[in-house]
Amino acid sequence: MQTPSGHPVESTAHARLVVLASGGGSNLAALLAAHDNPGYGARVVGVVSDKPDAGALDLAREAGVASVVVAPADFADRAAWNIGVSEAVAVFQPDYVVLAGFMRILAPSFVDRFAGRIVNTHPALLPSFAGAHGVRDALAYGVKVTGCTVHVVDTGVDTGPIVAQTAVPVVEGDDEATLHERIKVAERALLVETVGRIAREGLRVEGRQAIVG
Ligand code: GRF
């Protein structure tokens, strides 16, 4: 981009991110810490949670980012909730939707609406230990290495094409909490790095391959 006098100016273009979170929001916090850097290429423009007391909502408020609660109890049934979540996200006109500890399954209609633009962070090395208890299940299985995965969301549970992964060792004496904390350190770094790359370079899916750039 150039000014009328021909001087280059820094581009202010950035990808619009909507983050869905159910929990404390440490992954959201990491994205919020990154997004003020103009070189990051993405901004969190909205946060959506299914839990009215999610810490992620406090983080959004503190950062001056708009947030919306879509609690299932406020909807007549699952179908109405599906529409509610989809509309709540669409209002922000996201380029990408980031599931950062969002503990509900999104309907195929949601996945179709934002197809190829939804990424999820999972605290295990997919395809191993998919589902809500990835850390517990890996520990119970006795693996010596686990980790975290950022993947494109499809209509399955943690089955979409993998964008990036980091391995994390299991240490003797680990319980679910200590292992999850170690994974979350790696997970935050991976999510911030991967979402930034996607925002700056784009994301496409060819079969099982998720390609950034
Ligand atoms: C993350 O490990 C995420 O992968 C899992 O739940 C955790 C959420 O952490 N599903 P936070 O709310 O971002 O701190």
CA angle 201, 156, 208 (to 5 degrees): 45
Torsion of CA 70, 165, 35, 47, to 10 degrees: 0
Mutation pick for ligand 1 pocket among 49, 98, 121, 165 (CB with most ligand atoms within 8 Å): 121
Burial class, 143, CB count within 10 angstroms (exposed 0-12 / middle 13-18 / buried 19+):
middle
Question: In the chain, what's the furthest Cα-to-Cα distance?
Answer: 65
Judged against a pLDDT cut of 70, whether residue 23 lies above it is answered with: yes
User: How many angstroms separate the Cα of 177 from the Cα of each of 135, 139, 147?
Assistant: 9, 11, 14
Give the pLDDT of residue 9: 39
Tell me what pLDDT residue 209 has: 98
pLDDT over 80 at 8, yes or no: no
With the most atoms of ligand 1 within 8 angstroms of its CB, the residue from 98, 187, 188 to mutate is 187
Q: Mean of the pLDDT values across residues 10-27?
A: 89
Burial 18-27 (b: 16+ CB within 10 A, else e): bbbbbbebbb
Say which amino acid occupies 52: P
Encoding tokens for residue 15? 């990808």
What is the structure's pLDDT at 3? 33
Q: What pTM did the predictor assign?
A: 0.94
Quick: pLDDT tens for 83-102. Answer: 999 999 999 999 999 999 99
Distance between CA atoms of residues 65 and 162, nearest Å = 28
122 given a catalytic annotation: yes
**164 to each of 110, 115, 189, how far by Cα in Å?**
23, 18, 11
Q: What is the pLDDT at residue 13?
A: 83
pLDDT at residue 7 tops 50 = no
Q: Average of pLDDT values for 138-150?
A: 98
Among residues 108, 115, 69, 114, the alpha carbon closest in space to that of 88 is found at: 69
Chain centre distance of CA 207: 21
Radius of gyration for the chain, computed over Cα atoms and rounded to the nearest angstrom: 18
Q: Could you report the per-residue pLDDT of 102-127, keeping only the tens digit for each?
A: 999 999 999 999 999 999 999 999 99
Q: pLDDT, tens digit, for every residue of 131-142? A: 999 999 999 999
Residue 89 CA to ligand 1 center (angstroms) comes to 19
**Ligand 1 contacts CB of residue 104 (under 6 A):** no
pLDDT at 10: 45
- Cβ of 147 less than 6 Å from ligand 1: no
Q: Is 184 in the pocket of ligand 1 (CB under 6 A)?
A: yes
Catalytic residue among 7, 14, 35, 122: 122
> In angstroms, rounded to a whole number, what is the distance separating the alpha carbons of residues 63 and 33?
9
- pLDDT tens for residues 26-76? 999 999 999 999 899 999 999 999 999 999 999 999 999 999 999 999 999
Residue 201, beta-bridge partner list: none
Beta bridge partner(s), residue 43? 16
**Average pLDDT of the residues of the chain:** 94
Amino acid 12: pLDDT: 58
Termini Cα distance of the chain: 21
